[in-house]
Copies of this chain bind each other. A is one copy, B any other.
Amino acid sequence: MGIEIERKFLVKDDSFKKDASEKHLYQQGYIEGPFMATVRVRIIEDTGYITIKSKSVNFTRYEYEYEIPLTDAQEMLTNLCGNKMEKYRHIVWFEGKRWEVDEFIGENKGLFVAELELKSEEEAFALPNWLGEEVTHDFRYRNSFISQNPFNTWE
């Protein structure tokens, strides 16, 4: 990261080509923020990640996650992310299944959400005693929604 000073000019003709030392094909596009995907910056303890998640289309959701330098993740959280949240993620094994239980903190204190990843929609699993209502399809429990609408402001 740094300050970028760049000057840009139109080009009169293609006579520059005879002096060019390199030529490379560039293909590029822009991820259109809230419409087609969300871009999440995350720090787990001391490790930074950036994640691109598409909205679900026909039950498929594209997700790409990359580890990035911690300082980059901290700067992006500070300078580029309007909405932030913090939580503790607990791992609880119950009858052979790995539950991720999120304990939200800060403005979302009091909210606990448990998630279970399955290999198929038919896969059976046992329900721990501490489990409450299913909210799989309730958009309010998406982290991106919570980050914009803290739990403590819900009616």
- A: which residues have CB within 8 A of B? 1-17, 19-45, 50, 52, 54, 59-64, 66, 68, 72, 75-77, 79-94, 99, 101-103, 112-121, 123, 128-136, 138, 141, 143-144, 147
Check A132–B12 contact: CB distance below 8 A: yes
Check A16–B114 contact: CB distance below 8 A: yes
What does DSSP make chain A's interface, helix, strand, loop or mixed?
A: strand
- Bound form: Cα–Cα A66–B102 in Å: 29
**Besides the contacts A8-B113, A30-B40, A31-B80, what 10 more A-B pairs have beta carbons closer than 8 Å?**
A1-B62, A4-B117, A20-B91, A21-B93, A22-B90, A28-B43, A29-B41, A30-B41, A30-B82, A54-B79
Check B81–A30 contact: CB distance below 8 A: yes
- Which residues from chain B contact A62 at a C-beta distance below 8 Å? 1, 75-76, 79-80
Q: Closest B-chain residue to A36, C-beta based?
A: B80
- Which residues from chain B contact A90 at a C-beta distance below 8 Å? 16-17, 20, 22-23
- Which residues from chain B contact A130 at a C-beta distance below 8 Å? 11-16
Check A133–B10 contact: CB distance below 8 A: yes
**Total identical chains:** 2
Q: Closest B-chain residue to A128, C-beta based?
A: B16
- Bound form: Cα–Cα A40–B153 in Å: 34
Check B41–A31 contact: CB distance below 8 A: yes
- Which residues from chain B contact A129 at a C-beta distance below 8 Å? 12, 15
